[in-house]
Amino acid sequence: MKFLRNLLAAIIGCLIAFGILFFMFFLLTALLGSAGDEVVVKENSVLQISFTEPIYDYQGGNADDPFAALFEQGQGLDKILHAISVAKNDDKIKGISLTQGFLMSGLAQTQEIRNALQDFKTEGKFVYAYADYYGQQDYYLASVADKVFVNPQGLMDFKGLASEVLYYKKLQEKTGLKMEVIRHGKYKSAVEPFLADEMSAENRTQLKELLTSVWDAMLVDIADSRKLSVSELNTIADTLGGRTAKMAVANGLLDGVLYLDEYENTIKETLGIAKDKKVNYVELGDYIKSANNKNKPKGSNKIAVIYAQGEIMYGDGSKEIIGQGNMQEALKKVREDDAIKAVVMRVNSPGGSSLVSDMIWREVELTKAKKPVVVSFGNVAASGGYYIAAGANKIFAEPTTITGSIGVFGTIPNIHEFTNEIGINAEQVGTNANSVDYSVFEPMTEQFRNQVLESIEETYDTFLDRVATGRGMSKDEVNDIAQGRVWSGIDAQKIGLVDELGNLEDAIAAAAELAELKEFGIKKYPKFKSEFEQMMEGLSGAKVKLGEQIIKEELGADNYMRLKEIKAFTEKRGIQARLPYDLNIK
Residues with a known catalytic role: 188, 383
Buried b / exposed e along 409-428 (16+ C-beta atoms within 10 A): bbbbebbbebbeeeeeeeee
Hey, what's the torsion of the CAs at 513, 516, 518, 522, to 10 degrees?
A: -70
Using H for helix, E for strand and C for coil, what is the string for 186-236?
CCCCCCHHHHCCCCCHHHHHHHHHHHHHHHHHHHHHHHHHHCCCHHHHHHH
Question: Is residue 300 left, alpha or beta, with left meaning phi > 0 and alpha meaning psi from -120 to 50?
Answer: alpha
**Contact indicator for 263, 149 with CB cutoff of 8 Å:** yes
**Contact indicator for 165, 581 with CB cutoff of 8 Å:** yes
Q: Report how far apart the first and last C-alpha atoms of the chain are (Å, whole number).
A: 65
Is the N-terminal amide bond of 526 cis, ω within 30° of 0?
A: yes
Buried b / exposed e along 257-290 (16+ C-beta atoms within 10 A): bbeeeebbebbbebbeeeeeeebbebebbbbbbb
Supply the angle between the helices 324-336 and 354-368 in degrees, to the nearest 10.
0
Cα–Cα distances (Å) from 277 to 129, 213, 273, 282, 283, in that order, read 21, 47, 7, 16, 18
Report the chain's C-alpha Rg in angstroms: 27
Quickly count: other Cβ atoms within 10 Å of residue 150's Cβ.
29
Q: DSSP alpha helices (H): ranges in 105-200?
A: 107-121, 136-142, 169-175, 192-195
* Alpha carbon distance 576, 368 (integer Å): 25
CA atoms within 13 A on the CB side of 424: 11
Nearest C-alpha neighbor of 159 from the set 134, 128, 127, 125: 134
Helix (H, G, I), strand (E, B) or coil at 247: helix
Q: Which residues pair with 126 in a beta bridge?
A: 95
Quickly count: other Cβ atoms within 10 Å of residue 160's Cβ.
14
Nearest C-alpha neighbor of 398 from the set 218, 204, 522, 141: 218
* Alpha carbon distance 448, 242 (integer Å): 55
Hey, what's the torsion of the CAs at 258, 260, 264, 269, to 10 degrees?
A: -10
**Contact indicator for 340, 373 with CB cutoff of 8 Å:** no
